[in-house]
Structure 1
């Protein structure tokens, strides 16, 4: 059916005829079942440039892929060309000039290892295989967010390949409008990132990793724990951040759990957590004081190799009443058929996120209190349709008590998605998109231009 000449492509080319194809096509979210025509593993920016030129010459639509973590699989698709940058994963640390330069395919674990071994923290994400480029393009939440800001906030320069296959630089001094857009407007819109340069934070060797699980919570205890979590964040030390979930697990039943990181010792952690401890004696709280690198390794190791799920995220701007928390808890009282896990999660914001002026980057929701995540996880593919329907039905209530959607937790069925993701930045972003991609070459579902 397809008879393309691939000789123009460099790097490794995987087609449906290759033995490696089946593994190469998979997303981290195994519920995404897409069958691209070609996957091009690029080793450098020249490979990326050749890929874009090839796709345009042959009129083949394409997607950009790094960590394969897009919730809705927007980095892949059926019968199209995937430009994969995961092998552009060099890391260069210049302590004299106070920066670290990453290839466009570097993932969380790789940068944590490289910097952590030299005593530096990094404001990355929690999952080890998430690509840093995708993380920063959507802003980027992590356990260090309240201390160092979003992942994009220490970014000082981007190198990307544009629609013509040309390499351009984006920084505060060069193509500053594009640099603004690339810090919060999401991946896939403007070009393919091949390198990123970040300011090095001050060295911080030690931190306390905290994991808490409140098993078999009744509704009153759940309400009190979420209320206490809300209250903690009103005047919380910037060195602390975490996420708290109301969960319903096939393995562990119903409960509330949290994971947090404090750039401080156990005594300080105990003081911060005192409000939670007063709520429930039916709890298990584990504190581990060690290096920042050890803490990040444990956080990342807690993630599965892959999952099948439907998930999304919204922004919390209000303090929830007892009745609203009760309603949230009721949403997951019963899991969807075939689901092994469901949760509603409060990801902490504030701190350094709010210290950056709202107009400084394209990330619109800097003044939110939390990101609220919602997910349903299953194992057998036959349960995908019923879980998706269950999720969308429950999502209506979550949408009613939140504002805007987090572009790094996208939702395919989101109405008026541009307004939800970008707020009042929509018109500015459309203008920047038209300037740097006038032919709308970088086109995908839920792109800035329809």
Structure 2
């Protein structure tokens, strides 16, 4: 008689309150699917956990049966590290609680939440915390890797606003990591990814923020070198209220974009000015806009913060093919500007893009050793993303991404934002943590000496 992991789990996981799904179950195809369709894997068991006790049971089950263990929050990871072949997936999606304390200005968030759920809840109180740029992104994955987004220059990374976390460790125990409890763990999870345990609850600091002045400014892609050269000089000198990431891409054939721009390749800046004052935003953006030719589109206007956070959701639905590369960037010399122009005008598909996310301003208020994220002196995180719904284009988008990365990598700081890396090996992981890697390996040895949590940008225990 067969004895699959799913069958064994149903017998052995006494008291498990969630759902156990194996390959023979009707919901398996939906349960195994992650955001990036290029990560097409077949776990032996998907365990949808309802609380920390469920998570602990699943961890122990995977260990006892010597099965690989993947942890999935929002399922957005570019390399598909929230799933695996033949192993166990601890699916946190049922952990959906969002509790806002408007007096303390904090929000407690379940490990299965996506950022749109948090943004809507905090917005009701005129509050927000830094997150990413797509509201369907999982809170856990984005936060543990650092947390870059529209609010970085004003309020720092997500990890700079993470006050505490409830973590299930490799031995199944539950601890609270904060500035006062399990302080080494608190340091490590702020940028060290899911290497140390499963976070079932996050506590974030909130800031007064309701309306922002935001939106894109686009120029023809052929003017990209001129735009990027002006942007690299403007942005670091701009006040912290101004966040704007540079991008190459294609105008989607849909509202709110005018038809005459549909499917045109563009270079541009996606703005977020963290006030509700259009005049103040216009003054802050003026040094860049005045230095450049008139844009093809300047669609900047006041909008609720959650509206900005979901601006790209329609362009990037789940189920597309994704291939990423990334690097941290200190400076952008003219040679790099020219190379960006070469690749930027040749984005291979409508959804493929390059973004330069600012990581200065408030993110620079912390030293490189304050958290696991070590690139506090970098000015940008650069990501190259080949994206398309058609699997037949997988090689095309991968080739463009890798060629772009290879050409620009000599002009970068060496490491990368781990949330935007594929499975690229230990050298890249070490380069992304630099001098912090040694301490991370020590914390890993203390909290996960057997490397149970290894399906990630892995930090090997010392």
- Fold shared, TM-score > 0.5 on shorter chain: yes
Structure 2 residue corresponding to 1:159, chosen from 159, 162, 166? 166
1:384 to 376, 394, 397: 394
* CA-to-aligned-CA distance 1:195-248 (integer Å, 9 cap, x gap): 1111222x2332211221213x32xx2111111211222211111212111235
Cα contact 1:208–1:295 (8 A) shared by 2: no
Structure 1 distance, partners of 2:129, 2:314, is 17
Following superposition, the deviation at residue 25 of structure 1 comes to 1.2
Matched, 1:75 2:82: yes
Deviation at 1:445, TM superposition (A): 5.4
SS of match in other structure, 1:416:
helix
3-state SS in 2 of match to 1:344: strand
Larger deviation: 413-422 or 13-22?
413-422
Shift of 1:414: 5.1
**Structure 1 segments unaligned to the other structure (5+ residues):** none
Q: How far apart are the structure 2 equivalents of 1:428 and 1:443?
A: 17
2:197 is matched with which residue? 191
Greater Cα offset, 139-148 or 94-103: 94-103
- Per mean C-alpha deviation after superposition, the further-off stretch among 404-413 and 428-437 is 404-413
Matches within 5 A, 1:49-448: 49-187=56-194, 189-201=195-207, 203-215=208-220, 217-218=221-222, 221-247=223-249, 252-264=263-275, 265-278=277-290, 279-298=292-311, 300=313, 303-321=316-334, 323-336=335-348, 339-403=349-413, 404-413=415-424, 416-444=427-455, 446-448=457-459
Bigger shift: 326-335 or 114-123? 326-335
**Do the aligned residues in 2 keep the contact of 1:121 with 1:293 (CA within 8 Å)?**
no
Post-superposition shift, 1:45? 0.7
Tell me, yes or no, if the aligned pair for 2:145 and 2:418 is still in contact at 8 Å.
yes
CA distance in 2, matches of 1:297, 1:340: 19
Runs of 4+ with deviation above 6 angstroms: none
> Alpha-carbon deviations, 1:147-183, whole Å to 9, x = none?
1110011111111111111111111111111100000
Aligned Cα root-mean-square deviation (Å):
2.0
Which segments of 5 or more consecutive residues in structure 2 lack a partner in the other structure? 253-261
| Separation in structure 1 between the aligned mates of residue 215 and residue 460 of structure 2, nearest angstrom | 42
> Structure 2 vs 1, CA of residues 24 and 148 (structure 1 numbering), >3 Å: closer, same or farther?
same
1:6 aligns with 2:9: yes
Cα deviation per residue 1:339-377 (whole Å; 9 max; x = unaligned)? 444322211121100012221101111111111111212
Q: Which moved more, 1:270-279 or 1:368-377?
A: 270-279
Distance in 2 (CA, whole Å) between partners of 1:383 and 1:296 is 28
Counterpart CA distance in 2 for 1:151 and 1:88 is 19
Aligned length: 442
Contact 1:228 1:275 in 2 (8 A): no
Label 1:393 to 1:303 Cα distance change in 2 as closer, same or farther (>3 A).
closer
The 1-side partners of 2:234 and 2:347 are apart by: 29
Measure, in 1, the Cα distance between the counterparts of 2:167 and 2:23. Answer: 28
The 3 A distance-change label for structure 1 pair 415 and 293 is closer
**Alpha carbons 2:129, 2:204 under 8 Å: kept:** no
Cα distance, 1:249 vs. partner? 6.9
Q: Report the Cα distance in structure 2 between the residues aligned to 1:236 and 1:20, rounded to whole angstroms.
A: 50
**Offset of 1:386 from its aligned partner?**
4.1
Q: Write the distance in 1 (CA, Å) between the matches of 2:399 and 2:315.
A: 28
**CA contact under 8 A between 1:55 and 1:62: conserved in structure 2?**
yes
Report how far residue 294 of structure 1 moved: 3.8
State the distance in 2 between where 1:319 and 1:393 align.
18
Distance in 2 of aligned mates of 1:282 and 1:113 = 32
